Structure formats: C-alpha cells, structure tokens
Amino acid sequence: MRLMKPILPALTLGVTPAGAAVPGYTYGQPSVARAPYSLDDLAALQKVLLFGDDDIRALRQSAPILADQTDAILDVWYGFVASTPELLVFFGNARTGEPDAGYLAAVRQRFARWILDTAGAQYDQAWLDYQYEIGLRHSRIKKNRTDGVDSTAQVNFRYIPALTIPITTTLKPFLASKGASVADVENMHAAWVKSVLLQAILWSEPYVRDGAF
Ligand code: HEM
C-alpha cells in the first residue's frame, strides 16, 4: 500500500495550497525527530485496523472534496471544543484559566493543513515522523513550545482517541456536500475513522510507559 503514487506533493512541507507557510508546521523538515516506531510497525497497525488500499483511495477521493471546506470544518470542530469545557481547558492560560485566543488561532492553521495531509497521506518516514511530533506536541514533552504559550502541561491522553468520534461524525456532511454517491461517502467516512484512530494510536507513544507501546 505504500507503493501508491503521491497525489498531493504540493500540499506537504508546511505550505498551504496558496503557498503561505503555516507557523510551527514542520512536517518534512529536518527538525522533526525520527519516530521511535518503524514503517513495519505502521504496516502491522494498518493491517490490524483493516486499513488497506481501498481506504487510501477513499481518503484521496476526499482530498478535493474537503480542500475548500477546511475553514467551515474547523468552525464545527472548534465549536465542539469551545462548547466542551473538559476540552477547552487545554487551550486555557495556565494562570487565569481563560482560553488563549492566540493559541487557538495558531493551532487552527496547522489543523487545516492536517486535514489535507490526512487525506493525501503517503505513509512514508516523513509522515511517520510527523505523527510522532504531533504526539509529542499533545504531551507534556512538547505542548505549548511551538507557539510559546503558557497553557496546561499536556492534553490528557484519554480525550485524544475519544475525539476521533466527534471529528469524523461531523466530517460526514462535508464529505457528502459535493455530490459523491452514498456508497462513496460511506467509504470515505469509514477511511477517515480508521485514519484518525490510527493517528491517535501513534500519538499515544509519548504517553505510554517505556517498552509498552
Ligand atoms: C483525534 C483527535 C485529535 C486530532 C485529530 C487532533 C489534531 C491536532 C492537530 C493536527 C494539531 C496541530 C499539530 C501540529 O502542531 O502540527 C493539534 C494540536 C493540538 N491539539 Fe489536538 N487533536 C486531537 C485531540 C485533541 C484533544 C482531545 C485536545 C484537547 C483539547 C487537543 C488539543 C490540542 C492542543 C492544545 C494542541 C496544540 C499543542 C501544542 O501546544 O503544540 N487535541 N491537534
């Protein structure tokens, strides 16, 4: 499945489709550490998740459908976080507890890039390494550093796999909004669920005791 040709080469390396750099988005850059898990580990995980070439095709089919909807999608996702105090706290200032608007805005830009990278993922070493980086950024090892903010030390891990459900459930209407068949929408949605869960699992590594991942 890693033999498939990249379809979104212009959308990697931290540039937006319009070409502007996204602050802190370091996908593909030398500063990103090598993941402590291998491409073979990834293949094994994909196998157990029943994540195959059909899913990769379905994700890629979703790329042009979602490309001009990322802002609207993020309005919905951020709306969910903003209306869920248990989640909003992780964007709060460590002293006042008030949501940090600058932090929310900075992360939002990288989140938009992530939508396109998830749809066009090549599952190569650079992708794997950036998964590790995103995990670190949610954990106490690296949270807050990218944006230089003073917020909670970590995102508590239990919420990360849980957020898979609201993220993918609310994505479905966006997948359906451009005339794809009902079957195609179902396939794209199922592929998104698997991909987001796959990533949430990879992001767990910094939270898991040594040797237990
Ligand atoms: C399936 C679950 C999740 C997905 C897909 C997701 C996605 C993302 C992405 C793409 C980024 C930016 C990564 C980068 O810097 O390039 C990010 C950062 C962040 N996310 Fe999540 N996230 C998830 C779960 C959560 C949860 C449950 C919270 C709790 C509110 C959360 C809070 C944050 C915060 C605070 C950051 C900024 C971390 C930093 O300081 O660098 N995330 N997330």
CATH code at 56? 1.10.490.10
Residue 22 lies in a domain: no
Residue 126 lies in a domain: yes
Which of 70, 163, 192, 197 for mutating ligand 1's site (highest number of atoms within 8 Å of CB)? 163
Residue 53 lies in a domain: yes
Residue 10 lies in a domain: no
* Dihedral sign computed on CA atoms, order 81, 82, 85, 90: positive
Residue 60 belongs to domain spanning:
37-207
Residue 30 lies in a domain: no
| Cα 138 to averaged position of ligand 1 atoms, centre (Å) | 6
Residue 205 CA to residue 32 CA, distance in Å, equals 16
Residue 188 lies in a domain: yes
CB-ligand 1 contact for 26 (6 Å cutoff): no
CB-ligand 1 contact for 81 (6 Å cutoff): yes
90 touches 163 (CB < 8 A): no
| Cα 181 to averaged position of ligand 1 atoms, centre (Å) | 31
Residue 61 lies in a domain: yes
If one counts the domains in the chain, the total is 1
CB-ligand 1 contact for 155 (6 Å cutoff): yes
Residue 27 lies in a domain: no
CB-ligand 1 contact for 27 (6 Å cutoff): no
Residue 147 CA to residue 103 CA, distance in Å, equals 7
Per-residue pLDDT tens, the chain, 213 aa: give them.
444 444 443 334 455 544 568 999 999 999 999 999 999 999 999 999 999 999 999 999 999 999 999 999 999 999 999 999 999 999 999 999 999 999 999 999 999 999 999 999 999 999 999 999 999 999 999 999 999 999 999 999 999 999 999 999 999 999 999 999 999 999 999 999 999 999 999 999 999 999 999
